[in-house]
């Protein structure tokens, strides 16, 4: 029952963070644990009746067990005689693990190497399509010249889809690398990207590096195309832009901030053409005639539609570029009135150039700007915590303006809130089940102590491997909870059975008999516990060594389980018998006093 309940933690923790369906990782883990639990209580006993036959050997006949028992017996005996020292050491290790946990960074998910890269430079909103295309060609040529790059594909502006509202000043280049076995020894993807970033430094261009799949996920879930986005909300676009620039200057001072870009909102030039009605009347022109010429000259006018297969294309006519290149040339365009008079457009229209927004973004009915950035060289959670403090201290928010931190950090906060809610509830349920089993709060708490002590080794190994706390790491810890509680329950059962046998053999239980019973029960538990730990370690060690695709995600999943199994082994074999003996001695002395 405990294992099945623990299996559902990832479902509650991960479901809802990225959509409306079960998270694939959570569902797979839950299904596997439930099925393994059912098989353990149904199929395994049946197979034992068929497979365990013939002469059964004693544990003492196994040379490995003889060595282990020779080490374990004096160690356990010393621990039972020096219980205060043993418990103090265990508590000290736990406190050290808690302190170590405070020094470990945090992130939503480990960065998965897609073996490709997405280069997303952003230029000035006033740039023309011709200039943007020329910059893209130069950048793609530099990238393609790198010896580790196999293919480069670039795009300027938006594609033929409504889901990609990219302005002309934002381009995308998808980079495919050569196989890693063709790279020089010791070269990493980060080193290649750093080299390309240095070569692609162009004045007026902000470089943003990400990965194609990661970028699409971030855009769909948060609307931010980088790891972190600071959304700025307010009533005025110019005020939002100024506030975004202030935030950028502050965040730029925080170590780890890269690819910073404060979204330019009001920097695009617009040509305003206002019809001078009195002048048009003097020349005998009506407003419709003037507006029709303006529409045809600049925007173009649809004359008909051509059909090619299943596709339809409008046929549009407008003035040649030479006649609409600048305001002066537009002013020379002739307007023909209904009376046949031809008048230059500049005589009846006031032409001016103003600055305005290239694209207006809104969210929940509010105007929105954004500051985009990536984090390199440190964890995302620690960076955001430091950046939030800096922004609160140095940036003054005018009335009606506020900010919201988004991107991958938004998913991280969602996951943390769910874990903070679900894990205590499930631990409480486990405690209630243990209490119903033993009928004692002390026994239930005794078994439940295996969970925090199992976390000790997991935390140390996560720190040793330089990993950050993420959903993958916490899923690994959750998987460890079930094994830790299960082994604690089985150890207590072995100890209770040993005490019952000693009581039946001696007729009464003495302090010496209790001590011998605890030694016997713990020694019987040594072999199955070692086999459990050896099986888990043998199964998960290849995940730590793997360098293939997906290893970045599987390593954080395996590390807490491996480290926790080692600390759980020491706790169950040493600390659990010590606490059990201490509790039973108190009960025995109390009964003798009565």
Interval 249-293: pLDDT, tens: 999 899 988 888 888 877 777 888 888 888 888 888 888 888 888
| 452, 559: one domain | yes
Burial class (CB in 10 A: 0-12, 13-18, 19+), 155: middle
Lowest mean pLDDT among 396-410, 533-547, 564-578: 533-547
| 88, 61: one domain | yes
The answer to the question of residue 443 being in a domain is: yes
| 188, 301: one domain | no
CATH of the domain at 132: 3.30.70.1430
Distance CA 245, CA 402 (A): 14
Distance CA 398, CA 415 (A): 31
Q: Are 418 and 16 in contact (CB under 8 A)?
A: yes
Question: Using N-to-C axis directions, what is the helix angle for 471-506 and 441-448, rounded to 10°?
Answer: 130
Q: Report the 10 Å Cβ neighbour count for 321.
A: 8
What pLDDT score does 594 carry?
64
Distance CA 400, CA 402 (A): 7
| 457, 427: one domain | yes
Q: Residue range 156-165: average pLDDT? A: 67
Q: Please write the tens of the pLDDT for every residue from 336-362.
A: 876 677 888 888 888 888 887 877 888
What pLDDT score does 563 carry?
87
What pLDDT score does 92 carry?
92
What pLDDT score does 554 carry?
79
Distance CA 301, CA 292 (A): 9
Predicted confidence (pLDDT) at residue 168 exceeds the cutoff of 70: yes
Predicted confidence (pLDDT) at residue 167 exceeds the cutoff of 50: yes
Domain end call among 356, 386, 406? 356
CATH of the domain at 303: 3.30.2090.10
Q: Please write the tens of the pLDDT for every residue from 103-145.
A: 888 777 777 778 888 998 888 877 888 888 888 899 999 999 9
Predicted confidence (pLDDT) at residue 16 exceeds the cutoff of 50: no
What pLDDT score does 59 carry?
67
Q: What is the DSSP string of 376-418?
A: -SS-HHHHHHHHHHHHHHH-PPPTT-EEEEEEHHHHHHHHHHH
Task: Pull the structure tokens for residue 93.
Answer: 């290790």
What pLDDT score does 247 carry?
92
Distance CA 269, CA 444 (A): 72
Q: Residue range 500-527: average pLDDT? A: 82
Predicted confidence (pLDDT) at residue 21 exceeds the cutoff of 50: no
CATH of the domain at 546: 1.20.1640.10
**How many percent of the chain have pLDDT more than 70?**
91
Q: How far is CA 559 from CA 26, 420, 472, in A?
A: 18, 21, 10
Task: Pull the structure tokens for residue 103.
Answer: 């020094």
| 200, 158: one domain | yes
Query: For 106, which DSSP code?
Result: B
Task: Pull the structure tokens for residue 443.
Answer: 């026994």
| 293, 324: one domain | yes
Predicted confidence (pLDDT) at residue 36 exceeds the cutoff of 80: no
The answer to the question of residue 124 being in a domain is: yes
Which of 326, 270, 324 shows the shortest CA–CA distance to 294? 324
| 14, 104: one domain | yes
Task: Give the pTM.
Answer: 0.70
The answer to the question of residue 371 being in a domain is: no
> What is the dihedral angle through the alpha carbons of 177, 178, 184, 185, rounded to the nearest 10 degrees?
90
What pLDDT score does 233 carry?
92
Mean pLDDT of the chain: 81
Q: In which domain, by residue range, is 13 found?
A: 2-109+414-593
User: How does strand 301-308 pair with strand 334-336?
Assistant: unpaired
Predicted confidence (pLDDT) at residue 22 exceeds the cutoff of 50: no
| 537, 589: one domain | yes
Query: Higher confidence at residue 148 or residue 454?
Result: 148
- Total structural domains within the chain: 3
* Residue 546, C-beta contacts closer than 8 angstroms, at least 6 positions apart: 554, 555
Q: Are 298 and 412 in contact (CB under 8 A)?
A: no
| 200, 284: one domain | no
What pLDDT score does 211 carry?
86
What pLDDT score does 515 carry?
84
Query: For 179, which DSSP code?
Result: P
The answer to the question of residue 375 being in a domain is: no
| 301, 316: one domain | yes
Lowest mean pLDDT among 122-126, 190-194, 564-568: 122-126
């Amino acid at each position: 029952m405990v294992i099945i309940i623990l299996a559902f933690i990832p479902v509650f923790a991960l479901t809802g963070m990225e959509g409306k369906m079960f998270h694939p990782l959570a569902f797979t883990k839950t299904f596997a644990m439930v099925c393994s639990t059912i098989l353990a209580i149904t199929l395994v006993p049946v197979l034992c009746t068929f497979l365990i036959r013939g002469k059964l050997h004693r544990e003492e006949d196994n040379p490995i067990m003889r060595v282990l028992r020779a080490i374990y017996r004096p160690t356990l005996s010393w621990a039972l005689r020096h219980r205060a020292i043993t418990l103090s050491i265990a508590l000290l290790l736990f406190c050290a693990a808690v302190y170590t946990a405070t020094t470990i960074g945090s992130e939503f998910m480990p960065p998965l190497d897609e073996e490709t890269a997405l280069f997303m430079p952003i230029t000035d909103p006033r740039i023309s399509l011709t200039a943007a295309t020329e910059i893209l060609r130069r950048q793609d040529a530099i990238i393609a010249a790198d010896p580790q790059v196999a293919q480069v594909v670039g795009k300027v502006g938006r594609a033929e889809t409504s889901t990609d509202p990219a302005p002309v000043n934002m381009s995308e280049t998808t980079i495919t690398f050569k196989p890693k076995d063709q790279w020089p020894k010791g070269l990493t993807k980060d080193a290649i990207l750093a080299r390309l970033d240095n070569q692609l430094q162009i004045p007026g261009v902000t470089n943003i590096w990400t990965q194609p799949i990661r970028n699409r996920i971030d855009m769909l879930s948060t609307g931010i195309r980088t790891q972190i986005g600071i959304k700025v909300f307010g009533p005025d676009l110019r005020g939002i832009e100024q506030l975004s620039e202030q935030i950028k200057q502050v965040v730029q001072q925080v170590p780890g901030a890269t690819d910073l870009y404060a979204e330019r909102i009001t920097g695009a030039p617009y040509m305003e053409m206002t019809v001078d009605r009195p002048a048009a009347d003097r020349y005998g022109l009506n407003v419709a005639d003037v507006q029709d010429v303006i529409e045809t000259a600049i925007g173009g006018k649809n004359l008909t539609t051509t059909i090619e297969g299943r596709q339809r294309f409008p046929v549009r006519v407008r003035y040649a570029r030479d006649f609409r290149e600048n305001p002066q040339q537009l002013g020379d365009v002739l307007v023909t009135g209904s009376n046949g008079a031809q008048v230059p457009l500049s005589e009846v229209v006031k032409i001016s150039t103003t600055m305005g927004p290239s694209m207006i973004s809104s969210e929940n009915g509010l105007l929105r700007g954004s500051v985009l950035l990536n984090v390199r060289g440190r964890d995302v959670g620690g960076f955001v915590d430091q950046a939030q403090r800096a922004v609160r201290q140095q940036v003054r928010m005018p009335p009606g303006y506020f900010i919201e931190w988004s991107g991958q950090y938004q998913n991280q906060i969602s996951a943390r809130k769910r874990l903070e809610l679900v894990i205590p509830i499930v631990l409480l349920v486990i405690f209630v089940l243990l209490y119903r089993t033993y009928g004692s709060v002390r026994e239930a708490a005794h078994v439940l102590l295996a969970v925090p002590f199992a976390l000790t080794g997991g935390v140390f190994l996560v720190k040793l491997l330089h990993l950050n706390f993420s959903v993958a790491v916490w899923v690994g810890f959750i998987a460890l909870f079930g094994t830790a509680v299960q082994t604690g329950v089985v150890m207590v059962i072995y100890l209770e059975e040993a005490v019952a046998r000693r009581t039946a053999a001696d007729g009464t239980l003495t302090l010496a008999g209790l001590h011998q019973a605890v030694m016997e029960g713990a020694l019987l538990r040594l072999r199955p516990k070692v086999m459990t730990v050896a099986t888990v370690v043998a199964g998960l060690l290849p995940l730590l060594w793997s360098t293939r695709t997906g290893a970045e995600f599987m390593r954080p999943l395996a590390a807490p389980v491996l480290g926790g199994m080692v600390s759980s082994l020491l706790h169950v074999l040493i600390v659990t018998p010590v606490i059990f003996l201490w509790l039973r001695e108190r009960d025995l002395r109390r009964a003798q006093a009565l």
